[in-house]
Structure 1
Amino acid sequence: MNLEEEFAQHRGELVAHCYRMLGSLHDAEDAVQETYLRAWRGHADFEHRSSVRTWLYRIATNVCLNLLQHSSRRVVPSALGAPGNDPDELHAQALEVPWLEPFPDQLLGADPATVVGDRASLRLAMVAAMQHLPPRQRAVLILREVLTWPAADVASLLDTTTAAVNSSLQRARAELARLRPREDELSEPHEPLRRALLDQFQAAMESKDLVVLEGLFSADARWEMPPIPTWFSGRSDVLRLLDAKLRPGPGRRVLVETSANGQPAFALYIRGTDELFHAHSIKVLTYTEDAISAVLAFHQPALFPAFGLPLIHGRS
């Protein structure tokens, strides 16, 4: 295997690594591109004292740390303020805010469990929580807990001591324990209930069946819509939002199933005045053992190509 082929073999997991660090798919892809440029330039000095994979992770981590010196942490609407309750008073899109972005599972090219370690570390709530950590602490957590690097190797990469790495890891774990979702939010329903929840959500959203949707959401369900800062909490307010914003009648919307961050997701297409279905948003679902507990609806059509989805859907 030549160097170019070996670089390509690790691309998916490197993008996932940079995504955990940066919270942005586009930034992560740029970071991996910079990683490969640095690797090509420095290959003559690479003495194979570690594997190519480890070498690439070292470069990628340093690229991310450099980028984080000049950027703000990625956020979701619920991190910025209290929920709203009036769907007619949504704030305008805040395009200047560095919003968290979803990660298309297809970019991994294989089972996430075998490629990137702990699959839970890619979940949206977990990536959002990691954004609260200082960059070097974030790197320590990911390298130690996700990639399972020895503390001495992390210390070498970050030019610090093993004791400092262990101390940083302790602080990161404590902060994540405060921020991370409750365990029941990370549980998933068993088949066939999981399949039924997704099928019912898809059909009810397409037909605007609020009765079915009411039965699918948990009492404390959240609905967020970056780059719109306004978000909604509680089943009744979420349903009020959907009642106000979903136009009634057949053939208004098409939902296409996909997956992001190891979670189920749907791409929403809206029928335009030209009778074509246009890309609207990527909706990533979080569920408990028997209900949908959160929907993060990314109103960013530019994300669709990363999911392998067209901007115009073919249904007529």
Structure 2
Amino acid sequence: MEEFADLEPFRKELLAHCYRMLASVHEAEDAVQETYLRAWRAWADFEGRSSVRVWLYRIATNVCLTALEQRGRRALPSGIVAPSTELDTVGAQAPDGIGWIEPIPESRVADDPAAIVTLRESLRLALIAALQYLPPKQRAVLILREVLAFPAAEVATMLDTSVAAVKSTLQRARARIDETAPTQGEVYEPTDPAARALLEDYIAGFENADTAALERALRADAALEMVGTTTWFSGLVTCMKVMVSAAGEPGDWRMIPVIANGQPAVGSYYKGEPYGIAVLTPTPGGLTHIHVFSTPSLVTYFGLPPTAPGP
């Protein structure tokens, strides 16, 4: 079907939508595949009463809502426990029903530079984490109305509800987001020279075991989260102790810049082997958050080589 093939350009934006809903790039990819499968099966019955884009978002949103019925929310360590004070803390697994938020490569959700700039704010880790506190239906309404700017009437059609219900659900979702979303202030774009300088200090701090570079990179209220465990640290002094200890000797680490969740990030290698992805939050005054995803397979998922390249 040639006409069905015309739906392919929507794939990346649908992936971004499903990721906001599910906070897992792998679950989001499965949801997009299921969306296209359902669309293929229903294509002959599509009567054009709405645009194809609205029709696809309706399918994708309902696929996500079904997936969310079968599991609990995903979170970052700071959304589960208080910060650790002991440097040798061994991170415990999350309580039952809670999984971990995953990072998403920017290249997976957009190609067009203008679209990328628009997407970045809606994919930042702080917002993705805050969205997970919302019940699934509230999450869907907030994303469809506030992020994607669909009219209330179209959202009501997508969710088989009334316009009045959409409006009241959106009010509740906004109130809950105001309670849970941290106030970050200005966050630099990954391409901003100030963001690049902080990224360079972070990389130099690890690759060269340069304590001064690490200290330049961090803001006084910085937080370091070890995603995949319930361990995280808060404050410049504690974070520096952890990072200086982890930096080891010059040459132990190799880091390659990437962009994840609309934020500067690095693919990390330890003694030549893939370690994971670290996502940075650059602001005036320094990095406020470093989220370390110590999953080696993420390195190749972000399009990086399977072993550390040369200097």
TM-score, with normalisation over the residues of structure 2? 0.93
Query: In 1, distance between residues paired with 2:198 and 2:11?
Result: 33
Helix, strand or coil: the match of 1:201? helix
Q: Does structure 2 conserve the Cα–Cα contact (< 8 Å) formed by 1:112 and 1:119?
A: no
SS at match of 1:239: helix
The residue aligned with 2:83 is: 83
**Pairing 1:41–2:36 present:** no
C-alpha separation in 2, matches of 1:111 and 1:286: 23
**Is 145-154 or 48-57 further displaced after alignment?**
48-57
| Letter of the structure 2 residue corresponding to residue 254 of structure 1 | R
The answer as to whether partners of 1:281 and 1:301 remain within 8 angstroms in 2 is yes
For 1:284, the aligned partner's letter is V
CA distance in 2, matches of 1:112, 1:176: 28
Equivalent position amino acid for 1:64 in 2: C
Structure 1 gaps, min length 5: 272-276
Q: Spell out the pairing of 1:102-141 with structure 2 (5 A cutoff).
A: 102-111=103-112, 113-114=114-115, 117=118, 119-141=120-142
CA contact (8 A) 2:188 2:194 kept: no
Task: Give 1:221 deviation, angstroms.
Answer: 0.3
Quote how far apart the aligned CAs of 1:251 are: 1.8
Q: 1:256 to 1:169 in 2, by over 3 A?
A: same
Contact 2:190/2:259 (8 A) holds in 1: no
Report what 1:225 is aligned to.
Answer: 226
| CA distance 1:157–1:150, shift in 2 (3 Å) | same
1:306 is displaced (CA, Å) by 2.5
The answer to whether the 8 Å contact 2:58/2:159 transfers is no
How many residue pairs get aligned? The number is: 310
Counterpart pick for 1:281 among 273, 276, 287: 276
| Paired position in structure 1 for 2:161 | 160
2:178 counterpart residue number: 177
Moved more, 18-27 or 97-106: 97-106
- Residues 79 and 183 (structure 1), Cα distance of their counterparts in 2 relative to 1, 3 Å cut: closer
> Measured at CA, do residues 299 and 68 of structure 1 come closer, stay the same or move farther in structure 2, by a change above 3 Å?
same
2:12 equivalent to 1:17: no
Q: Give the C-alpha shift of residue 118 in structure 1.
A: 5.0
Task: Indicate the SS of the match to 1:87.
Answer: coil
For residues 23 and 252 of structure 1, what CA distance do their matches in structure 2 show? Answer: 31
Secondary structure of 2:86's counterpart equals coil
Measured at CA, do residues 222 and 115 of structure 1 come closer, stay the same or move farther in structure 2, by a change above 3 Å?
A: closer
Shift of 1:141: 0.4
Instruction: Give the 3-state SS of the residue equivalent to 1:70 in structure 2.
Output: coil
CA-based RMSD? 2.1
Q: CA deviation at 1:50?
A: 2.1
State how far apart, in whole Å, the 2-side matches of 1:118 and 1:162 are: 26
Cα distance, 1:117 vs structure 2: 4.8
The amino acid that maps onto 1:143 is L
Pair 1:149 & 2:150 matched: yes
Alpha-carbon shift at residue 182 of structure 1 (Å): 1.3
Mapped contact 2:198–2:282 kept (Cα < 8 A): no
Amino acid across the alignment from 1:303: L
Which segments of 5 or more consecutive residues in structure 2 lack a partner in the other structure? none
Moved more, 39-48 or 24-33: 39-48
Change (3 A) 1:60 1:75: same
TM-score (norm 1): 0.92
Distance 1:223 1:158 in 2: 38
**Hey, what does 2:303 align to over in structure 1?**
308
Residue 169 of structure 1 aligns to a residue whose secondary structure is: helix
Shift of 1:197: 1.5
Does residue 213 of structure 2 align to residue 212 of structure 1?
Answer: yes
8 A Cα contact 1:75 1:100, kept in partner: yes
Aligned to 1:254: 254
Sequence identity (%): 49
CA distance in 2, matches of 1:187, 1:177: 22
**CA shift at 1:222, angstroms?**
0.4
Does the CA contact (< 8 Å) of 1:218 and 1:292 recur in 2? yes
Q: Which amino acid aligns with 1:313?
A: A
Partner AA of 1:257 in structure 2: P
